[in-house]
A and B are shown apart, each in its own frame.
Chain A
Amino acid sequence: AQTVTQSQPEMSVQEAETVTLSCTYDTSESDYYLFWYKQPPSRQMILVIRQEAYKQQNATENRFSVNFQKAAKSFSLKISDSQLGDAAMYFCAYIGVVDDMRFGAGTRLTVKP
């Protein structure tokens, strides 16, 4: 079974600084997709960024970018110029050919003013 591991239960960053959230996953598939979801206190899950495994180029969405290392099965999220509104739980997720999504345990990000 595919598993997703987020080894950082909590992270903290100063406003305007950069923070990186880690995620590793285990799979035997070659074709899959990876996602970072944000869950603010309102609890609505929001897609932050996604990465197709067959693409070597790292995905970017404004201040959010990923470092996708396929051989190492690593998928970290970098948040640049952190804002107070970035404070939330961040979940790393995987979906493969089986088509059901697996989530990591989440990382709680605190942004300090």
Chain B
Amino acid sequence: EADIYQTPRYLVIGTGKKITLECSQTMGHDKMYWYQQDPGMELHLIHYSYGVNSTEKGDLSSESTVSRIRTEHFPLTLESARPSHTSQYLCASSVGGATNEKLFFGSGTQLSVL
């Protein structure tokens, strides 16, 4: 079992609200990722981190921001949510340092912006 947790599991909010999606892992992994996935579609990398104080943007342009103050915590924030942000957000982690690492995924946060 992967020890990576995402909260909330489901979130419905109104346009313009600021939200933070939480992601925590207890495995001591250096690398963490945020993916965005529309139903039945491929995953798009939106942010990743190689470790504390390291954050990078992924392939998909995103209006979200991330922070990595602690190894175990990689929250994603939307300052002003819009209906176009409606999607599933998946957090993942890996040990890092080599290319043979598998990703551990959280259960995801399904975000709906009205």
CB neighbors of A among B26-56 (8 A): 31, 33, 35, 40-43, 45, 48, 50
CB of A64 within 8 Å of the partner chain:
no
Nearest A residue (CB) for B90: A45
* Interface band, chain B: 20 to 34
Residues of the A chain whose Cβ atoms lie less than 8 Å from the Cβ of B100: 33, 50, 52
Does B48 contact A106, Cβ atoms closer than 8 Å?
no
Does B99 contact A91, Cβ atoms closer than 8 Å?
no
Residues of the B chain whose Cβ atoms lie less than 8 Å from the Cβ of A33: 99-100
CB of B64 within 8 Å of the partner chain:
no
CB of A71 within 8 Å of the partner chain:
no
* Interface band, chain A: 20 to 34
Residues of the A chain whose Cβ atoms lie less than 8 Å from the Cβ of B110: 43
Please judge, given known A-B contacts A44-B107, A45-B90, whether A31 and B99 are in contact too, CB under 8 Å: yes
Q: Which chain B residues have a beta carbon within 8 Å of chain A's beta carbons?
A: 31, 33, 35, 40-43, 45, 48, 50, 58-59, 88, 90, 92, 96, 99-103, 105, 107-108, 110
Chain A's nearest CB lies how many Å from the CB of B9?
Answer: 10
Query: Which of B35, B40, B45 has the most chain A CB atoms inside 10 A of its CB?
Result: B40
Residues of the B chain whose Cβ atoms lie less than 8 Å from the Cβ of A44: 105, 107-108
Interchain CB contact (< 8 A) of A35 among B42, B50, B102, B107 = B102
Chain B's nearest CB lies how many Å from the CB of A25?
Answer: 13
Chain B's nearest CB lies how many Å from the CB of A77?
Answer: 15
Does B33 contact A100, Cβ atoms closer than 8 Å?
yes
Determine the distance from Cα of A50 to Cα of B4 in the docked complex, in whole angstroms.
20
Determine the distance from Cα of A105 to Cα of B43 in the docked complex, in whole angstroms.
7
Nearest A residue (CB) for B92: A45
Does A47 contact B99, Cβ atoms closer than 8 Å?
no
What 7 pairs between A and B have smallest CB-CB spacing?
Answer: A45-B105, A105-B42, A103-B43, A47-B102, A103-B42, A44-B107, A43-B108
